[in-house]
Amino acid sequence: MPKKYQTGLMWFRRDLRTDDNAALHHALKSCEKVFAVFIFDSDILSPLPRADRRVEFIRESLVDLDGQLQQLAQRAGGTGSTGAGLMVFHGKASDALVALSDRLSVDAVFTNHDDEPAALARDAEVNARLQSAGRAWHSFKDHVIFERDEVLTLAGKPYSVFTPYKNAWLKKIDAFYLKPYPIEPYAKALAPPPAGEPSGVPSLTDIGFEPTNLQALKIPTGSQGGQALFDEFIGRMAQYKDTRDFPAVKGPSYLGVHLRFGTVSLRRMAAIALDRQREGDEGAATWLSELIWRDFYAQILSNFPHAAHQAFKPEYDAIAWESGDAAQALFKAWCEGRTGYPLVDAAMAQINQTGYMHNRLRMVTASFLVKDLGIDWRWGERYFAEKLNDFDLSANNGGWQWAASTGCDAQPYFRIFNPVSQSEKFDPQGKFIRKYLPALEKLPAPAIHSPWTAKPLELAAAGVALGETYPMPVVAHHEARAKTLQRYAVVKKS
C-alpha cells in the first residue's frame, strides 16, 4: 500500500530522541522518504550568554540523536542505510525550516507540539508559509500526557485547582494514552541528508558558544544518558516520598532537564510509575503526582496565557512590590547568595554553579525573595529562566506564582516559609549548606542554620566573621513577615 507522502521532513525540537517519538512515528509511517532536521533557533539563542549549559546539553544530545538515527537506518536497511542522520542548522528557525522544505521539495513537515506562546506564534507562521507553498504541516502531542483541553471539569472548563485536576487525570488515564509510538518497524524510510546539505552536528564554537562545566558536573546527556538516569531512579523510586525534600540526600530523579528537552519518553515513565502506584508504592505515587503537576501547569499556560506575564489572579497585580535602588540591591544579594540566610544562599550557589536547584529549595528561595524581600515574583522567575538547565516556561511560571500566592491553587498569602526552620527541618546537620558555603563549613549545627545567633566562641572557632566572611541577614524574618502580610492586605480588601 503506497504511503500518503513521497517526501517528509521531521523537525526535532524539544523531543531529542528516536524512542517513542510521536511525530517521528507518523512521519516514517506516512512518507516514503524522511529527512531529519534540528535548528538552533537564533531568536532563542541570541540573548543567551555565550557559555550556556542548556545549549551544550542540546548539542551533546544531538550527537546522540544523530547516532540513533543512523543506527536505526542501518538496521532497517532502507534508503538511508548509510549516512541517514541529522541536518543541523543555526539561524531563524521559521526561515531555515521553510527554505529547507523548498530545497528538498518535501510534501509535509512533521513535528511535536510546543505550546509556549512564542513557539505557537512561530509555528503558526511556518504553517501558513508551508501551506502557501502547497506543503502540509502535521504536529503531535508528545511533551505531556494530557494537553490543552483534554482534561476538563464536568462543566467543560479547564481546571485551575490541582487536586481535582489530578483526580480527573487519574480517572482518564489508560493504556491508550501511555502506549509508545513504534519507530523501528518504519525506520526504512529514513533518508540521508542530500548532497549540499549539512550532515553531523556542529561544534559549540561553530554556533558561537563556548563549553561550560556540563561535563565536569557529569550531567548525562542524550537519550542514553536520560535512560541511564531513569534506570537508576527506578531502584530508588519507592523511597521518593520520604527522601525528596532533603537536598543533601539523593532523593530526586534528576530527570528535569531530560523531560525539558525530550530525551526521555514521558509516556514510558508515567506508565511505570502508574503501575507501581496501583501496586501500592507510595514513592511512585508521589513521583507520578509530580509528572501530573507538569501537565497541570502546561494546560494552565494553554488555557490562561495571561499567566505568562501577569498574576493568574488579576487582583494580585495590585500588590505594591519593593522598587528602586534598595530593591535592586536586595535582589542582587539574593541572586549572588549573600542574604545571610545559609539555606537560601547555599541554594542560590547551587543554581549558579550547576544550573540545578533542588525542588524544596526552589520553594524556599522563591518564598524568601517575594515574602521576605518583598520583590516582584517576575524578577525571580526571569532569573531562574536564565539559570535553570531544566527551565520550562509553564512549570517555572507556575512554581513562582505558587510561591507568590498569585497563581492557581497557590499557597495562601499568609503562609510564609521561615528560612531558618526550613533549614533545620530539611538540612538538619547542615550537610548541604557546607557543600555550597565553604565559609560556614566548620560551623556546627544548629548554629549553621542561623549564624547570627551563634556564640562568639563558636564563630571564632569556625573562622566565621559575620559581615566579613559571611554576611549578616539582609532582613529580619519576623519583621519581613509582618510587612508582607500588610503588603498583601490589598488583596484581602478586594
Catalytic residue list: 290, 293, 321, 359, 377, 400
- Bridge partner list, 86: 36
- Kindly report each contact of residues 358-364 with a partner whose C-beta sits within 8 Å and lies 24 or more positions away, as own/partner: 358/247, 358/252, 358/432, 359/244, 359/252, 360/244, 360/245, 360/246, 360/247, 360/422, 360/426, 361/247, 362/399, 363/399, 363/402, 363/403, 363/417, 364/417, 364/419, 364/422
CA angle 403, 348, 435 (to 5 degrees): 125
Q: Is 138 helix (H, G, I), strand (E, B) or coil?
A: strand
In this structure, what C-alpha cell is assigned to residue 324?
Answer: 528602586
Q: Is 172 helix (H, G, I), strand (E, B) or coil?
A: helix
d(CA 247, CA 137): 44
- Main-chain dihedrals φ then ψ at residue 416, nearest 5 degrees: -125, 115
d(CA 259, CA 390): 8
Structure letter (DSSP) for residue 186: G
d(CA 424, CA 434): 14
CA angle 272, 277, 281 (to 5 degrees): 105
Spatial CA neighbour of 397 closest among 323, 306, 318, 262: 306
* Side chain identity, residue 389: N
Residue 191, Cβ neighbours under 10 Å: how many?
22
d(CA 334, CA 428): 22
In this structure, what C-alpha cell is assigned to residue 292?
Answer: 501530573
Spatial CA neighbour of 334 closest among 465, 146, 474: 474
Do the Cβ atoms of 357 and 374 come closer than 8 Å? no
d(CA 265, CA 218): 21
d(CA 484, CA 319): 10
Structure letter (DSSP) for residue 194: P
d(CA 255, CA 262): 10
